[in-house]
Structure 1
Amino acid sequence: MVTIETFRTLALAFSEVTEEPHFEKTSFRIKKKIFATIDEKNNRGIFKLNEIDQSVFCASSEMIFYPIPNKWGKQGWTFVDLAKVPVEMFQDALLLSYNTVAFGKK
């Protein structure tokens, strides 16, 4: 399980990350581009993953990770259930999300 505070601490630990509002959510950005958001109301995170990473996380833990069910999901945006995700798995996905946006990993 990952708390909102743990999510925030881990996301802000990356170089050059800023925390900014994004509609009713909190976003984490690198170079003004969002790589993750917190949806506190639904206790879930949202990550930007590349197609391969998204398919791996969703296939291995479909009750924890799942694509957003619209065009955003097809672009790699992926929900993560914070109540179910192990911290280590969360950290791995967060790092991949950061790298995907910061370095254009495809």
Structure 2
Amino acid sequence: MTPAAFRRLALSLQGASEGAHGGHADFRAAGKVFATLGYPDNEWAMVKLTPDQQRMLCEVEPAVFRPVNGAWGRQGSTNLKLSTADTATARSALAMARRNVAEKRRR
């Protein structure tokens, strides 16, 4: 998975748009960030999962996923290693993250 492929996948999701914060490209739905590129460095992306989703993906695909350090990670923010992620895995994680922020926004 390249950064360009991750960007294409993120932007292919319904209602997704690209923005930026903290020097990183981010992807938003319903005005909320669901993923970023380049965090903590250019080898990684981040998807905003629930803690349960994070736990499941980190157990099933430990070479691809790891919790973000600190409080954000405890809340579900999860790093995705671009070089080890395949398209189906990244698409699934991005779709979960987009749903999470869109559903949270509706509540």
Tell me if both proteins adopt one fold, taking TM over 0.5 as the criterion.
Answer: yes
RMSD between aligned alpha carbons? Answer: 1.6
Residue 55 of structure 1 is matched in structure 2 by 55
Question: Which ranges of structure 1 fall in alignment gaps of 5 or more residues?
Answer: none
State percent identity of aligned pairs: 30
Residue 68 of structure 2 is matched in structure 1 by 68
Residue 5 of structure 1 is matched in structure 2 by 4
* Mapped partners of 2:85, 2:9: distance in 1: 14
* Mapped partners of 1:90, 1:43: distance in 2: 14
Matches within 5 A, 1:18-29: 18-29=17-28
Deviation at 1:42, TM superposition (A): 2.7
> Match of 1:100, as an amino acid?
N
Q: Deviations over 1:1-27 (max 9, x none)?
A: x11111111111122211011111100
- 4+ residue segments displaced more than 6 Å: none
* Mapped partners of 2:53, 2:73: distance in 1: 13
Deviation at 1:51, TM superposition (A): 1.5
- TM-score between the two structures when normalised by the length of structure 2: 0.90
